Structure 1
Amino acid sequence: MAERPAPHRGRQPRMTRTRLWLFWSSLAVYAAIVAAVVTTSWLVHLDWQLMLFRPYKQWPEFHAFLDYFVVLGQRAPTAVAVLAWLGWRAWRQHTLRPLLVLGGSLLLLNVTVGAAKIGMGRLGPHYATEIGSNEMWAGGDIFPSGHTANAVVTWGVVAYLATTPRARRTASVACAMVALGVGSTTVYLGTHWLSDVLLGWVAGLLVLLALPWFEPGMAYAEAWLLDLRDRLRGRPTGDPSAPASLSPLATRVSIVSQRPTGPAAGTGNEPPREMARVSSGTGPPPRPDAWPHLGPHAARHERPPATPGGHRRPPQSDRPGGRTQARTGR
């Protein structure tokens, strides 16, 4: 049974000591921001100062541009754009890992951020009821900022899947700039508190840092999906007695009968070069009697000489002054 060719895989990130330290540090910052908002600390007062400052009225000339720029944090447009890029990479590299990483990260983001939004129920600046309050558990859904967290995760996956250190650094810087810009834009437009944006940045970072823990599960899902595809196509995958022509992703093999070389070459008894394509379910295998009219090859000692006898030039006695006359005149 032919083995499935190993898909191209870049260097997969591991849960190193540095990544673990960053994860637990980010989780501590996450808890600190939540505690600062729940206790109505200085962070809530800063939220109200920025909201009452109304940046969109202070600098109205940027409003039109930032209305379009903030789309880089919306889930549907960003997911479609990144899905197109990662889909092309998956096709080129013959692996489902880029698509599974994107899907798994978005699922993890929706579960964690969505649960936090519903659980804390904070109202946004436009729906605030009392100046100076934290507006918690009032039926809202803006804490943490989904725009900001989505910008971190969706564009951060591109950096996470980069195959070279230089590409990873470049993509990480670009992702950070987009995430910072999207979060700041929501504060400018007045759709989020500053603390919402801070928690959104940390929430997205936690999802990216936790992805290596889910790599084994995504590898198992990739193998399962490929086996399911092969079953739907009628290609057995786990049976070692299955013929190679039915094996998944079987590579085509060319069987070529070479012309004989050496003394037997040039006798005219060898058949023309035979080429038989053997692939999954296409073309019959080469038959042993493909050239029945030629018969068996003769042994070497039974073959006629390669050149006719008497090939040497006969003596020419009629040549004047020749070497033969000189011999006979002696």
Structure 2
Amino acid sequence: MRTDIFARLDREPEPPKIEIPRMSRHRIALFGGTLAFYLAIVFAVLVSSWLVALDWKVMLFRPYQQWPELHAFLDYYVVLGQRGPTAVMVACWLGWRSWRQHTLRPLLTLGTSLLLLNVTVGAVKIGLGRLGPHYATQIGSAEMFAGGDIFPSGHTANAVVTWGILAYLATTPRARRYLSALSATVSLGVGLTTVYIGTHWLSDVLLGWAAGLLIMLGLPWFEPVITRAEAWIFAVREQWRARRRPAPVLPVAVGGPQPVLLAQSLVIEGAGDTEETGPPLGAAGHAAVSTRPRAHTVRSERTPVTPAGSRRPPHADRAPRAGTANTTPARPLGGS
């Protein structure tokens, strides 16, 4: 049993059962109500209604001058709504959860929500082009289509999505309730802080809350895409691992026969039990040669080998040399 401190960092043997939120009737009703609120805010600003007048009253009140002692703290607090720092912090936590639970769903869900946030909020910002309080040109004007990019509030929408994703991915109802309350408090504080500093109108904050809530309520529609993306990433990872895995090597004893020659010798040994007429062929198409050690024989037991003779052609008119075995004259054969 391991007793070191790194034993606590081991991954969980089995990931917990994570309940994926679905688009229930209650969620669809909330989505529809939030969408109606979103469109109502946009319409009220476009027609310069009482909401625009309220924006100007809050702006001329200058909260940062009424409570200057809060300015130093709120300058740091508003960072909780900036996309870069908050995305990095939440991604680190969700990356740890992904590694522990053997799944990529937390990181893919965060990426999907941030992508939706950039597309939807960014498109409305550029399309409406509203100027901020510090750049306003006419008192009482909505300052629309003037080349600005502050409607809706990106800080507020980002706070709703970034911190709300923690509640969305919670594994227990209790954790989901606590994290929902925490994300609502942080996003509400970030939105009001932008109004206090004077970087956003009050209507910008209201629309930012609605924009972030719409993304959080509509995330279950993208769960099938997240599931397919996770399966594809895992399949690509397995293919990459298979290509990098080295080929198995058979162990060979030092000085022993090679595996191919040993197989060929086994083929030759079994050739006596078959009726094949030709020698067995090896892997390269040549006759297999046995490497079995043969018994050593003495010279007297060896079969005499007849020399092949001289390569010169014999001449009929050449007499045999003297002193050889053929110099003895042949005896005539007698009759009786």
Q: What TM-score do the two structures reach when normalised by structure 1?
A: 0.70
Q: Render the CA deviation track for 1:16-40: whole Å, top value 9, x for unaligned.
A: 0000000011000000000000000
SS of the equivalent of 2:38 reads helix
Is the contact made by 2:78 and 2:194 (CA closer than 8 Å) also made in structure 1?
yes
CA distance in 1, matches of 2:15, 2:79: 34
Evaluate the alpha carbon distance shift between residue 25 and residue 235 of structure 1 in structure 2; reply closer, same or farther with a 3 A threshold: farther
CA distance in 1, matches of 2:248, 2:189: 56
Query: Is 1:210 the equivalent of 2:254?
Result: no
1:66 aligned to which of 48, 65, 74: 74
SS of the equivalent of 1:234 reads helix
Aligned counterpart, 1:46: 54
Query: Is 1:33 the equivalent of 2:41?
Result: yes
1:234 CA drift (Å): 1.9
1:229 CA drift (Å): 1.1
Aligned counterpart, 2:101: 93
Is the contact made by 2:15 and 2:100 (CA closer than 8 Å) also made in structure 1?
no
CA distance in 2, matches of 1:124, 1:41: 17
1:232 CA drift (Å): 1.6
Is the contact made by 1:9 and 1:93 (CA closer than 8 Å) also made in structure 2?
no
Moved beyond 3 Å, runs of 4+: 5-9, 280-284
Query: Which structure: larger Rg?
Result: 2
Whichever residue aligns with residue 63 of structure 1, its letter is: H
SS of the equivalent of 2:148 reads coil
CA distance in 1, matches of 2:217, 2:41: 19
Q: Render the CA deviation track for 1:138-162: whole Å, top value 9, x for unaligned.
A: 0000000000000000000000000
Q: Render the CA deviation track for 1:79-104: whole Å, top value 9, x for unaligned.
A: 01000100000000000000000000
Aligned counterpart, 1:140: 148
1:231 CA drift (Å): 1.3
CA distance in 1, matches of 2:158, 2:19: 24
Evaluate the alpha carbon distance shift between residue 283 and residue 98 of structure 1 in structure 2; reply closer, same or farther with a 3 A threshold: farther
CA distance in 2, matches of 1:97, 1:71: 26
CA distance in 2, matches of 1:212, 1:160: 10
CA distance in 2, matches of 1:114, 1:9: 35
Query: Is 1:154 the equivalent of 2:157?
Result: no
Query: Is 1:115 the equivalent of 2:126?
Result: no
2:134 aligned to which of 126, 129, 133: 126
Evaluate the alpha carbon distance shift between residue 111 and residue 282 of structure 1 in structure 2; reply closer, same or farther with a 3 A threshold: same
Aligned counterpart, 2:29: 21
Aligned counterpart, 1:57: 65
CA distance in 2, matches of 1:124, 1:226: 46
1:233 CA drift (Å): 1.6
Is the contact made by 1:8 and 1:94 (CA closer than 8 Å) also made in structure 2?
no
CA distance in 2, matches of 1:116, 1:282: 58
1:7 CA drift (Å): 5.6
Whichever residue aligns with residue 72 of structure 1, its letter is: L
1:183 CA drift (Å): 0.1
Whichever residue aligns with residue 193 of structure 1, its letter is: W
Q: Render the CA deviation track for 1:214-265: whole Å, top value 9, x for unaligned.
A: 00000000000111111122269xxxxxxxxx8xxxxxxxxxxxxxxxxxxx
Let me know the Cα RMSD of the aligned residues. Answer: 2.0
SS of the equivalent of 2:242 reads coil
Q: Render the CA deviation track for 1:49-80: whole Å, top value 9, x for unaligned.
A: 00000000000000000000000000000001
Consecutive unaligned residues in structure 1, runs of 5 or more? 237-245, 247-279, 285-330
Q: Percent identity?
A: 70
Q: What TM-score do the two structures reach when normalised by structure 2?
A: 0.69
Aligned counterpart, 2:282: none
